[in-house]
């Protein structure tokens, strides 16, 4: 029997594993370029090339999505809940460090600029952005708060002052919460209340007979959530029973595959529990000890709350 703790661990590990597995292939859109760069095929955890967005990182490292997700996970574990001021301090310290090798995307650069101008107000730090900055770090928040709309919106607007980004983050949280409580994948998708994400789920279901590559090209390989979210839903539906295969299929479709893989990984990890994730994949993560320690702390906090 899969327990709630198994599902929480699977949800969080799945998010990090999906992201890291895509590191070296992230943001390569052309299939021929992928074939030339990886002639033996894409098996996950490929090293980034010298001119790549994640150049200087190594197999097992996280993309910038995963780096930010780890900052949030550790903040939640150490503070016992969402503390945006604490998260903002960690965010600035990490990304402003001279030794930081993590890519700074549009949302990251914008929030750093706003925090520098107004460091005491992280609620006003987000910029107009509808890409996957928040959804790729959301799993540990759901472990603590469920799909609480106020918490999800606060975390989203820290980076993304966008109603669309909030809607997709809330949809993702609703899916995760349903999965943690034992819903099937299809039933979890039915829990979504946000209009646009629900419409995208309908589209993904309608394309279930297409391959992951075909559907991803149909919805779009790029970052905006209106494209990446339905492509991730489709990949999860197609690979529902095989975590590794689902991750590899969405990675092989190129584009913003790290975001899609983080979503798919969190959903399937929550659905089947942590043991569905290949142990050797978890062991490949460079931050595995930090992730494991923070998950232990989060679940211990939950146990304390349940018995209080």
pLDDT by residue for the chain (308 residues), tens digit each?
899 999 999 999 999 999 999 999 999 999 999 999 999 999 999 999 999 999 999 999 999 999 999 999 999 999 999 999 999 999 999 999 999 999 999 999 999 999 999 887 887 799 999 999 999 999 999 999 999 999 999 999 999 999 999 999 999 999 999 999 999 999 999 999 999 999 999 999 999 999 999 999 999 999 999 999 999 999 999 999 999 999 999 999 999 999 999 999 999 999 999 999 999 999 999 999 999 999 999 988 776 555 44
Looking at residue 84, which CATH number applies to its domain? Answer: 1.10.4080.10
For residue 226, being part of any structural domain is answered with yes
- Look at the chain and report how many structural domains it folds into: 1
For residue 308, being part of any structural domain is answered with no
Please, which residues have CB within 8 angstroms of residue 235's CB and are 6 or more apart in sequence? 212, 215, 216, 246, 249, 250, 253, 260, 264
User: What are the tokens at 218?
Assistant: 């149909």
For residue 102, being part of any structural domain is answered with yes
61-102 pLDDT, tens digit per residue, is: 999 999 999 999 999 999 999 999 999 999 999 999 999 999
For residue 185, being part of any structural domain is answered with yes
154-192 in b/e form (b: 16+ CB < 10 A) is bbbbbbbbbebbbbbbbbbbbbbbbbbeebebeebbebb
Angle at 232 between CA 213 and CA 229, to 5 degrees: 120
DSSP state of 52: S
Rounded Cα distance between 33 and 291, Å, is 33
Rounded Cα distance between 246 and 146, Å, is 25
Domain range for 67:
4-303
Question: What is the reported pLDDT for 304?
Answer: 56
Rounded Cα distance between 150 and 230, Å, is 24
Which single residue is written with the structure tokens 């994948």?
185
Rounded Cα distance between 257 and 220, Å, is 11
- What pTM did the predictor assign? 0.97
What interhelical angle do 64-79 and 288-307 show, nearest 10?
A: 40
62-72 pLDDT, tens digit per residue, is: 999 999 999 99
Rounded Cα distance between 77 and 296, Å, is 9
Please, which residues have CB within 8 angstroms of residue 162's CB and are 6 or more apart in sequence? 126, 128, 129, 130, 156
Q: How many C-beta neighbours within 10 Å does residue 100 have?
A: 13
Rounded Cα distance between 177 and 216, Å, is 25
């Amino acid at each position: 029997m899969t327990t709630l703790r198994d599902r929480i661990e699977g949800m969080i590990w799945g998010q990090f594993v999906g992201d890291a597995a895509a590191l070296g292939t992230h943001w390569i859109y052309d299939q021929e370029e992928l074939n030339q760069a990886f002639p033996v095929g894409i098996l996950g955890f490929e090293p980034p090339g010298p001119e790549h967005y994640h150049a200087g990182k190594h197999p097992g490292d996280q993309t910038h999505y995963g780096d930010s997700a780890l900052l949030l996970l550790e903040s939640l574990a150490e503070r016992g809940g969402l503390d945006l001021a604490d998260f903002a301090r960690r965010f600035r310290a990490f990304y402003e460090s001279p030794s930081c090798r993590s890519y700074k995307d549009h949302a990251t650069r914008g929030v750093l600029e706003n925090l520098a101008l107004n460091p005491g107000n992280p609620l006003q730090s987000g910029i107009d952005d509808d890409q996957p900055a928040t959804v790729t770090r959301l799993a540990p928040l759901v472990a603590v708060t469920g799909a609480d709309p106020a918490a999800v919106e606060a975390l989203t607007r820290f980076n993304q002052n966008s109603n669309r980004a909030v809607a997709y983050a809330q949809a993702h949280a609703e899916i995760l919460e349903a999965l943690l409580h034992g819903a099937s994948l299809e039933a979890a998708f039915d829990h979504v209340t946000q209009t646009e994400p629900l419409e995208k789920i309908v589209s993904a279901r309608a394309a279930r007979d297409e391959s992951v590559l075909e559907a991803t090209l149909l919805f779009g390989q790029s970052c905006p959530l209106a494209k990446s979210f339905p492509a991730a839903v489709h990949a999860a539906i197609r690979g529902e029973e095989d975590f590794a295969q689902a991750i590899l299929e969405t990675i092989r479709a190129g584009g913003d595959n790290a975001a899609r893989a983080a979503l798919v990984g969190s959903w399937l990890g929550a659905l089947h529990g942590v043991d569905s994730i290949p142990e050797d994949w978890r062991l490949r993560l460079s931050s595995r000890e930090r992730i494991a320690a923070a998950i232990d702390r989060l679940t211990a906090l939950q146990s304390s709350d349940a018995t209080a």
